[in-house]
Structure 1
Amino acid sequence: MPLRKRFHHHYAEVGEVMMHYVAAGEGPPVVLLHGWPQTWFEWRHVMPKLWDRYTVIAPDMRGLGDSSRPLGGYDKKTVADDVWRLVTEHLGYDSFRLVGHDWGGPVAFALAAAHPEAVSHLSIVDV
């Protein structure tokens, strides 16, 4: 099956942001946060390596990709809150693994610092 057939695109209203995210696989959730100015697509080669064991979630963070572009709120704490709300309120997970690349690294760190009980594993790549 072609890789594109395995990626499922979704949208979630998260506060003032309409957040686009791609999900694939089954199992414990892993959230992949892209760098700047990238999108979920940076994870397209990583996701297939994980989706047999995990539910892989790769959002387009606020202002990037197919997510909406509000005028403000581009600090790491606000963007981390967007991701938190997507994963917990919209998707219903109370615990998840978190990976951040580039700009996604500080966002991942801010999310893990604010919600240490929810982030079971944290990986920051190429910051």
Structure 2
Amino acid sequence: MAKARIDDTSGIAAVHAATADFDSASRDARATAVRYLLQLLADAAPGNSVEVRVPPFGAVQCIEGPGHTRGTPPNVVETDAHTWVELATGALSWADGVAAARIRASGSRADLTTHLPVLDRIPTIRGK
């Protein structure tokens, strides 16, 4: 069974709520925003060589290259939900997030610089 997709209208509304005041946004809005932005990343950079984890809300595999089949993947990016929303919307740069230790990245492919921000990619992804 295919995983349910978050439609653009719901996803963008959740992102707006999460970026307006992350701490005051409902848990559902924060979760939907994170999952929607992860979905956009996976759409923009399909593949399975990097796993991006944003606990407790979601994870995706993305970026072309050699994949893995079992155990911990060799290329992992992990961050908290607030940091992910800031990265994916362009409010925080990859370099600044790494420098502030807000991003844990391991592996030679675990650099999302060229894939962020993802929110800017909606017309490209959706073919609009």
Q: Is the pair's TM-score, using the shorter chain for normalization, greater than 0.5?
A: no
Larger radius of gyration: 2
Scaled by the length of structure 2, the TM-score of the pair is: 0.28
Higher relative CO (Cα under 8 Å, sequence separation at least 6) belongs to 1
Q: What's the TM-score, normalizing by structure 1?
A: 0.28
Q: Which one has the bigger strand percentage? A: 1
Higher helix share: 2
